[in-house]
Amino acid sequence: MVDVAMSVPNCDSPEAKRVWDALRGVPDPEIPVVSVVELGMIAAVDANERSVTVKLTPTFAACPAIEHIHDTIRGAVTDAGFAHVNVETVYDPPWTTDRITAAGRAKLKSFGLAPPGCMNGRSVEPEDLLAVACPLCDSTDTTLESAFGPTLCRSIHYCEDCRQSFEHFKPVS
């Protein structure tokens, strides 16, 4: 996992810290228990007294909520005291599930969504979609019901122990 905030240039300035604090409060529109920071969507922050640029890497290139995320980021950073806020969508670095923070993974699990395993830069293998622990009871006696859930990033599984269906956030490397 990557601690994205720690790798961002200029994170030590008071302005950048204010921006990162504001971004930690911006929820993902699809999974509102996690922030865009916890999902690792913030590629960079450049801030000074007058203006802020936030570089956002979407989880999927064709994300239908990208403009909503931009607007929410602009609002949060404006509320933090910055008058000029620019949000740019970038694809380099590419987003992967390795960018989800430990706190983000824990929140996904508490939400009832099995978090992805860390791929650490390797390709996603078929067994990565099959061997999924149930977020409700931690059993690994689960089966894949459908490789496709309500969104492209999720699959549906069934737990033989607690007899519940659950969603899994698919790993993306």
Q: Residue 75 is part of a domain; what is its CATH number?
A: 3.30.300.130
Q: Are residues 13 and 64 in the same domain?
A: yes
**Cα separation, 155 vs 148, whole angstroms:** 5
Dihedral (CA of 49, 55, 59, 60) sign? positive
The C-alpha atoms of residue 104 and residue 89 are separated, in whole angstroms, by 21
47-88 pLDDT, tens per residue? Answer: 998 899 999 999 988 888 999 999 999 999 999 999 999 999
95 lies in some domain: no
Whether 100 is covered by a domain: the verdict is: no
User: Are 68 and 138 in a shared domain?
Assistant: no
Report pLDDT for 37: 98
Confidence of residue 167 (pLDDT cuts 50, 70, 90): very high
Q: pTM for this structure?
A: 0.84
Q: What's the mean per-residue pLDDT of the chain?
A: 87
Expressed as residue numbers, the domain containing 138 is 112-169
Q: Could you tell me if 58 and 71 are in contact, meaning their C-beta atoms sit under 8 angstroms apart?
A: no
Same domain, 72 and 140: no
For residue 159, the cross-strand partners are: 142
Residues 28 and 67 in one domain: yes
Do residues 122 and 50 both lie within one domain? no
Whether residue 118 lies inside any domain: the answer is yes
What CA–CA distance (Å, rounded) separates 22 from 62? 25
Residue 64 resides in a domain: yes
pLDDT, tens only, 127-143:
655 678 999 999 999 99
Give the pLDDT score at 85: 97
pLDDT in tens, 3-36: 444 444 446 689 999 999 999 999 999 999 999 9
**Pair (15, 83) in one structural domain:** yes
Query: Do 80 and 123 sit in the same domain of this protein?
Result: no
* Digit-coded pLDDT (tens) for 89-126: 999 989 999 999 999 999 999 999 999 876 555 555 55
Q: Are residues 77 and 116 in the same domain?
A: no
Torsion angle of the four alpha carbons 77, 82, 85, 91, in this order, in degrees rounded to the nearest 10: -50
